Amino acid sequence: MTDKVCSTKPNTHLVKNNSLINRLWRQRWLWMMVLPGILFVLVFNYIPMSGLILIFRNASTFTGAFGNKWVGFDNFKFLQDPEFHQVFFNTIRIAFWKLVFTFIAPLVLALLLNEVTNLKFKRSVQTLTYLPYFISWVVVAGLFDHLLSVQTGIVNDFIKLFGAEPIFFLGDTKTFIPVIVVSAVWKTVGFSCIIYLASISSISVELYEAAYSDGAGRLAQLRHITLPGIMPTITILLVLAAPSLVNAGFDQIYLFQNPLNIKVSDIIESYVLRMGLGSGMYSYSAAIGILNSILSTTLLLLVNTISKRSGGSGIW
């Protein structure tokens, strides 16, 4: 009798498996749409991680792809190299100023556009500031090179009108970083501005009406309604931008770089390229790259944790 009763009990493990299989089958078209993204991340992000073994070997042009000798942490000797110290300082300095201005500029632009009542003017400004985002850095670098040219640049033409000497902006170590920051702001301000404007549009109009009826002016509404309303968006964008403190933007810097400004423009990414492909020191450059990735991840986790513990939003 007992055996019969036991035999009639459903197999819960089998039911769970069938349920999982059924759910996967019902959602098969959704998984098919997600599959290309999963494969892309797997092939280009996870499989290449097997090459991290390079940092513990002496791989170079002469020893082959994976080297012929295990050297442990010898490739991390760059931490004691004064040249790398200068490169790291250049990266932090450029990345810091880019982060400050590319973060503040779109926020200020969005707050200003939010106060504009002329829709035609507002949309025109949005379009003009958004278009540079789709221009590649190759074109932007060529454009700024022509604008800032000592002989034919329109900027130096204005400087000459006031009786001053022309400035070689891309060759002067004092003006190189401002050029980098200005070009970065010009290219990205429109895209980030749209994100803030979308966040502002989600704020209830009734809040502004109530504040207006209580006598609150534009500045008071901005301070007590608009900024608190978009604070979650500001926090998330700040968290996502934190890793850029050790990534100054290789594509931009490499195109603006030249022998005259190399002292301040040589960043970690360009240094890795020069030491890896230029000098054939693959393990050495791989060690620098992995350290840069670790620092980026650490900054992301740190800023996200601080944001959540301070009562703000996080990305998870």
- Summarised one tens digit per residue, pLDDT across range 102-116 is 999 999 999 999 888
How large is the average pLDDT for residues 177-191?
A: 93
Using the predicted structure, report yes or no on whether residue 12 has a pLDDT greater than 80.
Answer: no
Convert 226-263 to b/e letters by CB count within 10 Å (16 or more is b): beeebeebbbbbbbebbbbbbbbbbebbebbbeeebee
Express as a percent the part of the chain with pLDDT over 70. Answer: 90
For CA atoms 274, 184, 234, 195, the dihedral sign is: negative
| Position 64 in a domain | no
Query: In this model, does residue 1 exceed pLDDT 50?
Result: no
Domain assignment of residue 112, yes or no: yes
- Are 43 and 155 within one domain? no
Among 210, 257, 315, 304, residue whose Cα is nearest residue 94: 257
The answer to whether residues 129 and 251 belong to one domain is: yes
Question: Is residue 276 included in any domain, yes or no?
Answer: yes
pLDDT of amino acid 2: 46
Provide the pLDDT for residue 133: 92
**pLDDT surpassing 90 at residue 224:** no
Answer whether residue 67 is part of any domain: no
> Above pLDDT 90, what percent of the chain?
27
Domain region containing 10: 2-47
- Whichever domain contains 126, its CATH number is 1.10.3720.10
Quote the CA–CA distance of 150 and 166 in Å, as a whole number: 6
- Domains in the chain, number: 2
Residue 69 domain flag: no
* Residues 141 and 36 placed together within one structural domain of the fold: no
Say yes or no to pLDDT of 184 above 90: yes
Q: Does the residue 219 lie in any domain?
A: yes
Indicate if 277 and 241 belong to the same structural domain.
yes
Are residues 16 and 129 both part of a single domain?
no
Asked if residue 195 is part of any domain, the answer here is yes
The pLDDT of 3-18, averaged and rounded, is 51
- Let me know whether 15 and 144 are in one domain: no
Q: Which of 292, 241, 235, 251 is nearest to 102 (CA)?
A: 241
Q: Which residues, at least 6 apart from 153, have a Cβ–Cβ distance to it below 8 Å?
A: 146, 147, 166
Average pLDDT over residues 179-183: 94
* Residues 118 and 229 placed together within one structural domain of the fold: yes
State how far the Cα of 195 lies from the Cα of 281, in Å rounded to an integer: 42
Asked if residue 311 has pLDDT above 80, the reply is no
Cβ atoms of residues 40 and 48 within 8 Å: no
pLDDT at 110: 92
Q: What is the pLDDT of residues 125-161, one digit of tens each?
A: 989 999 999 999 999 999 999 999 888 889 988 988 8
The pLDDT of residue 236: 86
For residue 305, the model assigns a pLDDT of 85
Does residue 188 lie within any of the structural domains? yes
Whether the pLDDT of residue 82 is over 80: the answer is yes
Whether residue 26 is found in the same domain as residue 134 = no
pLDDT mean over 199-211: 87
Residues 142 and 214 in one domain: yes
Count of beta carbons in the 10 Å neighbourhood of residue 157: 13
Read off the pLDDT of residues 237-273 as tens digits, 9 standing for 90 and up. Answer: 888 888 888 888 888 999 999 888 999 999 999 998 8
Q: What is the pLDDT of residue 180?
A: 94
Q: Between the ranges 74-78, 184-188, 286-290, where is the mean pLDDT highest? A: 184-188
Whether 34 and 91 share a structural domain: no
Q: 122 and 85 in one domain? A: yes
Q: At 176, is the pLDDT very low, low, confident or very high (cuts 50, 70, 90)?
A: very high
What is the per-residue pLDDT across 273-297, written as a single tens digit (0 to 9) for each?
Answer: 888 888 778 888 888 888 888 888 8
Is residue 81 domain-shared with residue 165, that is, in the same domain? yes
